[in-house]
A and B are shown apart, each in its own frame.
Chain A
Amino acid sequence: MVKEIERAGIPVVHMCTIVPISLTVGANRIVPTIAIPHPLGNPSLTLEEEKNIRRELLTRALKALETEVSEQTVFEK
């Protein structure tokens, strides 16, 4: 899906936990996430701490969308 969205001309960031799969599929902008059943959360934390994680990851996703890339890029930080 990520490739078809890109093909349609829309920049897309893939947020997922297993980065090697995303690289194999062909995503160009990748943000690694927390865990498979809760990519953008962590049930062992408080609700507020979880929201902070989500804010941080989404801020990184926005940064990825604002960054010019020429090849597949994983935004670790």
Chain B
Amino acid sequence: MIRVVHYINQFFANVGGEEMAHIPAEVREGMLGPGLALQQAFKDEAEIVATIVCGDSYFNENMDEAKKTIIEMVKKYEPDLFIAGPAFNAGRYGVACGAIAKAVKDELNIPVLTGMFEENPGAEMFKNDIYIVATKNSAAGMRDAVKKMAPLALKLAKGEKIGASIEEGYLPNGKRVNFFEKEIGAKRAVDMLLAKLNNKEFQTEFPMPDFDRVAPNPAIKDITKAKIALVTSGGIVPKGNPDHIESSSASKYGKYDIDGVMDLTEETYQTAHGGYDPVYANLDPDRVLPVDILREFEKEGKIGSLHRYYYATVGNGTAVKNAKAFAEKFSKELVADGVDAVILTST
């Protein structure tokens, strides 16, 4: 019987939501949460012998220590396979799953597997190091994720040959795997062309690498003369969230006038973000959007001025396409308003 250790976060372990995201790693015997579905899919071929539960914030804020502790926990169970997640589009969870799976593979030399949505930052970070099954962007895709993860996990544990990403359902990892297509190349090319001409979806067989890097702009010569704007993905909005920015998967951003505002308070501002414990940001929103100190710097002449407007959205499972479009739009305004530099804060 293949022995499996499973890693999940506080949320999927039913320990709690964001208010419990700070808990360190702990071990539970047997399966828990999404492990039940995995176990069912494994039938009698594998057994989840232990589940490690760790808070997402704890893991990300104490990564080295968390990895060390968890590896020791995993080692004790002498597993043949390690599975993390699936994390869907939860950013910190995805990074945790990728990081711990890679660490287990490197340190304990056993096969590992995780699953997440392709836009999860953990995917870009770890897809070339470990197998990451492509999942939907929310836990509603659990059934689909398990259906792909369980067979691939068993194959990995048995040391069987792993097919191409398109066959097995993992995110492309830059390695070429040969296989025979059902149709000949000429037919596939013509089908693709017809689909393209008819504005239908088609899948390229030779995707171009995506090196979307922007070169740094020159430094500010004299910061004491510069007009500085604040931007945040931490969801700080005027109290009541007048633009109704969504707590996750934001479809919009807000532009807010802070003319004359010297300090953000519990009475006047709040966070709209649903992806972290909001208690601290609601009590003092300057902890995320530091208006108070920048006003001080403005008065002392350390900066030229603080721009009259700040821009805010919620960076919580927000589509990269949306975030890009928001910033494209408001950056034009920033340029037109003569802003010299931006401080962007994220939670």
Contacts and interface: CB of A to CB of B under 8 A. Distances in A.
Nearest to A57: B290
Given A3-B212, A11-B217, A68-B218, A61 B288 contact: no
B217 A1 contact: no
Interface residues of A, number: 53
Interface residues of B, number: 65
Nearest to A71: B216
Contacts of A6: 214-217
Contact of A69 (B18, B219, B233, B340): B219
Contacts of B296: 55
A34 to B, nearest CB: 8
B128 interface: no
Contact of A5 (B60, B61, B92, B327): B327
Contact of A35 (B61, B124, B340, B341): B61
A15 B223 contact: no
A40 B346 contact: no
B347 interface: yes
Nearest to B57: A36
B95 A20 contact: yes
Given A5-B231, A18-B92, A40 B345 contact: yes
Nearest to B302: A62
19 contacts: A1-B323, A1-B327, A1-B344, A3-B213, A8-B335, A9-B217, A11-B219, A12-B231, A13-B343, A13-B344, A16-B345, A18-B61, A21-B125, A24-B124, A28-B217, A35-B61, A36-B347, A37-B278, A54-B290
Interface of A: 1-18, 20-22, 24-29, 33, 35-41, 43, 50-51, 54-55, 57-59, 61-62, 65-71, 73
